[in-house]
Structure 1
Amino acid sequence: MTILPKFTLDDEEFAGKRVLVTGGTKGAGEAIVQRLSAAGATVLTTARSAIPETLSPQLFVQADVSTLAGAETVAASALERLGGIDIIVHNVGGSKSPGGGFAGLTEQIWQDELSLNLLAAVRLDRLLVPRMIEQGSGTIVHISSIQRRLPLHESTIAYAAAKAALSSYSKALSKELGPQGIRVNTVAPGWIHTTASEAMVKRLAAHSGSDEETARQGIMDALGGIPIGRPAWPQEIAELVAFLVSDRAGAIHGAEYVIDGGTIPTV
């Protein structure tokens, strides 16, 4: 039987910290919001959908950050409600591409994948980082993906390309912002137990005319397997993010941390 991981935490570690987590109502994003909040941070989060019952209206912004208008709404709300920003976790992302490889990707799909998985982070950084520079401190984590190194040609070409660009952008940003007191790192998860990953399984099954178990196994085969025998839990992603944005990781900057259960087979 699979058991969810349990972690001990310091409930005052992030006391006084003002945090923005994009895409924080489901999956890894929700786990990150819960983890940082439990350690004393004030966490504002976003989603395109309506506010979940578990969140305070004061700490939620309904907006589509894949658009410039949505990013501007979120940035303005973060600065107004929090009075500034200390930590940004760009978690929002995902893919709605159908199966079928490159030929199945329309112009609109490419635009949508790039806007959600790359430009959302670029725009919010552009809007919020100047305030971090003014205060001389801040921490940014971009959630990329192992797909940037291990793309699945059947279903995630556009997503993988966008995440590869996000990782490259993150590295460049770290070189510019490090001397100004702002740390920038990237987390690259592999397969995670989420509703979004299960939705991808359903899309692939529908496209191929197979069942979900066959589609799930197809993903596993394309990844080359997961040596630990399972995807990661959202709480495990959140724990890594919490470490990277903490003072415990004060010398970690411009790095990318892979959390994939050993999926990537190379050094």
Structure 2
Amino acid sequence: MLRTIALSALALIPVAASATVITPTGYTYTVGPNSSGSAYEDDTYNGTTGQLTDGVSATLDWHFTDGGGAAGPNVGWLNVNPVIVFTFDQAYDFGTMIVNMQDGKGAHGVGLANSITVNGLTSPTLTGNGTTDITGWDVSMDLSALAPTDTLSVTVNRGFQWTFLSEFTFNTATSEVPLPAGLPLLLLGLGSIAALRRRKAGHAPRLLLWSGNTAGQRLAEARWDRAPSRAAGAFRARSASVAPRKRGEIPQSGAGRALT
């Protein structure tokens, strides 16, 4: 029983909870993408959702996926800062936002944004993939400083003429399961019970009394009974034979000593 309770108590020790991906219910553009009829529009946008939350991130150079008029995964803005407002089904404590954008190295005016601002919180200066390759690149921004909210207004502060965005992913903040207020007292109580059980399982103290018989000594042993089923303060007496001893080695009457 004690083991079962102890294991249950250990299960209450706080552990880190994993982050959860949150899908927006929709988004709107305050500053929309290029609308010149090129391949850089939000091709599947229906007024609620579109390419930016379809789960598809660009991984290749935009030349291969969006060049030549093809309807690729990138959504482009020319000479403006993209502003997108995402809405959610309830207020969330956000942890991170991941934005997939083109790290274009400035080729043909396409490049990484300088920074991102979300609900007034601005990221540090963004860094690219660390190579000379032109690729889609995931930029992660910490949102844990924001208060819980059901709306995120995202401004991408451009670094070049063209800003290409492909996908937005939002995660909740990771946190620990709270420690129950009574758990320390529970553990203390379990420890006390275990100590009491160990104490009861050990040898009880005994009081050994010598009789005054000098011919053949009889040892009367009185034992204090600690069993909880017996009356408090009860004694059990039993006799045990001992070998005769020389005169003078045994107290003559009434003397005794306690052993444990």
| Common fold: TM-score over 0.5 | no
Q: Which has the larger radius of gyration?
A: 2
The structure with more strand, counted as a fraction of residues: 2
Q: Return the TM-score normalized by structure 2.
A: 0.26
Q: Return the TM-score normalized by structure 1.
A: 0.26
The structure with more helix, counted as a fraction of residues: 1
